[in-house]
Chain A
Amino acid sequence: DAKTTQPPSMDCAEGRAANLPCNHSTISGNEYVYWYRQIHSQGPQYIIHGLKNNETNEMASLIITEDRKSSTLILPHATLRDTAVYYCIVRVRNNFNKFYFGSGTKLNVKP
């Protein structure tokens, strides 16, 4: 599975949109982009995933570039409870055994 590169930390003002980038330049055609987050030392929480089209759910939006080499997770109205480490992962669909979490981005939402 391809590896990902994320900035180690980002700040965001409460109520503003948080845009978290992820680089996955070696992604292959059958690899999906997944986003998870981890609040303190709780279990990681699934946010969203996509293959090539932009995706939106009740938590966030995922924008994938046309060449699929990078993506952006958007939290439209960040709250203090969104402070967490966000992980971008690429993974082959139905590949059970590989799920590299990497170091993620620590998002600090500030009042």
Chain B
Amino acid sequence: EAQVTQNPRYLITVTGKKLTVTCSQNMNHEYMSWYRQDPGLGLRQIYYSMNVEVTDKGDVPEGYKVSRKEKRNFPLILESPSPNQTSLYFCASSLRGNSPLHFGNGTRLTVT
């Protein structure tokens, strides 16, 4: 089944403890992206990648890192999480820019 898989679905952590949220797609998509969703702010793009080893900042990249070493994987790294990064995170992919986005089921992160 074609899908975007995020892990974990839920994560509770403490301030400053490095964490990684994984994202994998099995559709051979070139484009992948991370979003965060907060009440009243909608979905905001964090980082995106147009292909392997090509990444760029979205609208809210501060405090996050990403890597794209393989086409299928696009992990989101929080080196030193802070409470303001408590949010619902979505990974998405698309074949190319003229294709619809496919979203994962989300990761709910709580930083205390």
Question: Which candidate, A19-27, A37-45, A60-68, A72-80, is the interface stretch facing chain B?
Answer: A37-45
**Bound-complex Cα distance A44 to B100 (A):** 11
Interface size class of A (residues with CB under 8 A): 20 to 34
User: What does DSSP make chain B's interface, helix, strand, loop or mixed?
Assistant: strand
A15 at the interface (CB under 8 A from B): no
Taking a contact as CB atoms closer than 8 A, the residue among B45, B92, B96 that contacts A97 in the complex is B45
Taking a contact as CB atoms closer than 8 A, the residue among A41, A45, A95, A102 that contacts B106 in the complex is A41
B74 at the interface (CB under 8 A from A): no
> Provided the pairs A41-B88, A43-B104 are in contact, do residues A99 and B97 lie with their beta carbons within 8 angstroms?
no
Binding site for A on B (CB under 8 A): 4, 31, 33, 37, 40, 42-43, 45, 48, 50, 56, 58, 88, 90, 92, 96-98, 100-106, 108
Q: Can you name 7 extra interface pairs (CB under 8 A) apart from A93-B97, A97-B58? A: A41-B37, A43-B4, A43-B92, A46-B101, A99-B33, A100-B42, A102-B42
| In the complex, the 3 A-B pairs of residues with the closest C-beta atoms, listed nearest first | A43-B103, A94-B97, A46-B100
